[in-house]
């Protein structure tokens, strides 16, 4: 997760928290609801980023560099035969 996204999510969470508090103090249910909604949105975004990081991190453990999403970069390509590929891997 990039620091920028993390910071945005935290800022949205705390804005929602402030809205909720103001809504409680003033007695405005709509503002309080909007604040809670902002908090939920921020938490969902944060968890979504964490899930994405988990899956992308797991891809690195499998030997994928991330450059190509369809095949690992170490696979034989173009004119290279499988026999040459096997000898290169040993």
Give the torsion through C-alpha atoms of 4, 10, 8, 2, to 10 deg: 20
- Over the Cα atoms of the chain, what is R_g? 23
Residue 88 pLDDT more than 90?
Answer: no
3-state secondary structure of 78: coil
DSSP secondary structure letters along 3-65: HHHHHHHHHHHHHHHHHHHHHHHHT-HHHHHHHHHHHHHHHHHHHHHHHHHHHHHHHHHTT--
**Residue 53: its pLDDT value, please?**
84
pLDDT in tens, 29-82: 999 999 999 999 999 999 998 888 888 875 554 555 555 555 555 555 555 555
pTM for this model (two decimals): 0.59
Read off the tokens for 50: 């964490």
Residue 23 pLDDT more than 60?
Answer: yes
């Amino acid at each position: 997760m990039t620091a920028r996204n993390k910071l945005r999510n935290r800022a949205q969470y705390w804005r929602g928290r402030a809205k909720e508090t103001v809504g409680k103090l003033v007695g405005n249910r709509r503002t309080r609801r909007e604040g809670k909604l902002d908090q939920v949105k921020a938490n969902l975004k944060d968890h979504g980023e964490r899930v994405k990081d988990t899956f992308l991190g797991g891809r690195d453990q499998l030997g994928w560099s991330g450059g190509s999403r369809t095949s690992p970069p170490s696979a034989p390509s173009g004119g290279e035969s499988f026999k040459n590929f096997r000898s290169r891997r040993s």
